[in-house]
Amino acid sequence: MEPMISVRHLHKSFGTHKVLTDISVDIHIREVVVVIGPSGSGKSTFLRCLNLLEQPQEGDIIIEGTSLMAKTTRINDIRTELGMVFQQFNLFPHKKVIENIMLAPVRVRKWPVGQARQKALELLDKVGLREKADVYPASLSGGQAQRVAIARALAMEPKIMLFDEPTSALDPEMVGEVLAVMKDLAREGMTMVVVTHEMGFAREVGDRVLFMEQGVVVEEGDPEQLFGHPAHERTQAFLSKVL
Amino acid sequence: MDFRFDIIAHYIPVLLRGTAFTIGVSIVSIILGSVLGLGIGFGKMAPKAYFRWPFHCYINFFRGTPLYVQILIVHFGVIPAFYGSTNVLMTSFVALSLNSAAYSAEIFRAGIQSIDPGQREAAVSLGMTQFQAMRFIILPQAVKRMVPAFGNEFIVLVKDSSLLALIAAPEIMYWSNTMKGQYLRIWEPYLTAALIYFILTYSLSKLLNYIERKV
């Protein structure tokens, strides 16, 4: 089967600092791929390359048959199919919760306001925050803000969701509510790429786990194999520190 | 010391006309200056260095040389070159607008760059164009932060417009100088002028405080 996302020999540097070296990964429809690794391993940069928030220098990323590196590709159109959730939430502080969610469907998808509002309220129900529709993001807790951010990304009805350390900025007691929303999404068959330090989530929800270090994918496999019997000694060293 | 209120009373009508001129030229210049400044500010944020360069030079020239000199250059150089002869009204608008644009450009640039890059990233990751991200996400937040700096710029502009007396623009200082020449007195014309400027800038700062609370 044709992969949903195909990353081919990706290279990325910031100046002289090489961040990603020859990354090749396929991600299939309905698959949950979890990327783990130490800080500075390039896992967030890898994720940000998938919607070109970072511009790779070499290689290609093919999403549903369209090359992101081709001159003719309209990146804005591709991004509407890729929902992104950030570590720092990045909600729009000058817009109410419901306006945060409705903005892109109305301005980008050109939906009528009524339809966008309907969809936004459904999504707020889904993440359990309907009563917060008319407040500003500043009054939300971190966990609530991240659930709104997930709803905002889902409002565009993306085919793929990208999560960039979605629970790393949260107080420990709020991690669970965000992970629960993500588990629901995975269960519904959303294609997901998740960069995280939550090993429990990786093990429970991931279909496949990539271990990255120093800009390369050191090892990949299904969670049982990677966590239970890591083949590479760098994977073993990392897991012995975090588990 | 005697203080002759009668000569002030005599000059009130012309001083009021001068005040109207000062207010008019300040308002037009802050508006033209902001529009021009927005463009220059964006120019200075361009990704390519050679594209930023002319905007960089513009800002440094107008911030780095006295308004006094700029008024003379515009009055005796720029306006005659384009219009054929000197024109006080044109010089007033053009010199103050060009000067204000340099400061406005820096206010816009600082305001826009003060917004967390994550805001732009969130907007474009939702499929918005760079223009939409600027229009709906970045500018509305940046403008709020720019209000105090713009208020400041406006107040400076009102006061600096007094330099237009140099080219006999009929504003407050010009009429005060005339009054001084006619009566050969110092305190009455200049204290009156100072009071008028103070009333203008003080009301302006009150108005700006009110706007800051609103936004």
ipTM confidence: 0.94
Q: pLDDT at position A185, please? A: 96
Q: Give the residue-averaged pLDDT of A172-193.
A: 96
Q: What are the C-alpha distances in Å from B114 to residues B28, B86, B145?
A: 28, 42, 9
Average pLDDT in chain B:
95
Nearest to A149 by CA among A182, A197, A196: A182
Q: Between the CA of residue B107 and those of A102, B41, B103, B112, what are the distances in Å?
A: 31, 8, 6, 9
Q: Per the structure block, which two tokens stand in for B96?
A: 């103050």
Using the CB atoms, write b or e for B179-208: b if 16+ within 10 Å: bbeeeebeebbeebbeebbeebeeebeeeb
Q: Which residues, 6 or more positions from A39, have their beta carbon under 8 angstroms from its beta carbon? A: none
pLDDT of residue B1: 66
DSSP H/E element including A161: strand A160-164
Q: What order of strands is seen across the sheet that includes strand A5-14?
A: A17-27, A5-14, A58-63, A66-67
Contact B171, B125 (CB under 8 A): no
Q: Inform me whether the pLDDT recorded for A243 exceeds 90.
A: no
Average pLDDT of span A84-108: 97
CB A178 within 8 A of CB A146: yes
Looking at residue A24, its pLDDT comes to 96
List, for residues A191-207, the tens digit of each pLDDT value: 999 999 999 999 999 99
Decide if pLDDT at B212 tops 90.
no
pLDDT tens per residue across span A72-89: 999 999 999 999 999 999
Q: Which residues of A touch B136 (CB under 8 A)?
A: 103, 107
CA dist list (Å): B132 to A206, B119, B124, B139, B176: 35, 12, 8, 10, 50
Residue of B nearest to A158 (CA): B126
Tokens found for residue B136: 């709906």
Q: A90 contacts in B (CB within 8 Å)?
A: 116, 118-119, 121-122
- Within an 8 Å CB–CB cutoff, is residue A232 touching chain B? no
Q: What per-residue confidence (pLDDT) applies to B214?
A: 84
Structural tokens at position B144:
């709020």
- Chain B: nearest CA to A120, how far in angstroms? 14
pLDDT 10s digits, B30-47: 999 999 999 999 999 999
Place of tokens 């120093």: A214
What single DSSP character describes residue B84?
S
B141 contacts on A by Cβ (under 8 Å): 92-94
Segment B154-189, tens digit of pLDDT: 999 999 999 999 999 999 999 999 999 999 999 999
Q: Which residues in chain B have their CB less than 8 angstroms from residue A83's CB?
A: 125
Mean pLDDT of A12-23: 94
* β-pairing verdict for A191-195 and A208-213: unpaired
Kindly calculate the radius of gyration of chain B based on its CA atoms and give it in whole angstroms. 21
Structure tokens at B59: 């800002």
Average pLDDT, integer, range A47-54: 96
pTM: 0.86
Mean pLDDT of chain A: 95
C-alpha dist (Å) from residue B155 to A55, A126, A196, B151, B201: 44, 51, 51, 6, 6
Helix (H, G, I), strand (E, B) or coil at A110: coil
Whole-number Å distance between alpha carbons of A118 and A213: 43
DSSP summary character for residue B134:
I
Whether residues B126 and A90 touch (CB distance < 8 A) is answered with no
Say how far apart CA B118 and CA B99 lie, in whole Å.
Answer: 33
- The string of pLDDT tens digits covering residues B113-157 is 999 999 999 999 999 999 999 999 999 999 999 999 999 999 999
What are the tokens at A75? 């990146």
Tokens of B52: 């930023």
Q: What's the CA angle centered on B184, arms B181 and B189, to 5 degrees?
A: 75
- C-beta atoms of A84 and B129 within 8 A: no
* Chain A hits for B125, Cβ within 8 Å: 51, 53, 79, 82-84, 153
Question: Is A51 in the B-facing interface, judged by CB distances under 8 Å?
Answer: yes
State the Cα–Cα distance between residues B120 and B45, nearest whole angstrom. 15
What is the SS3 assignment for B187?
helix
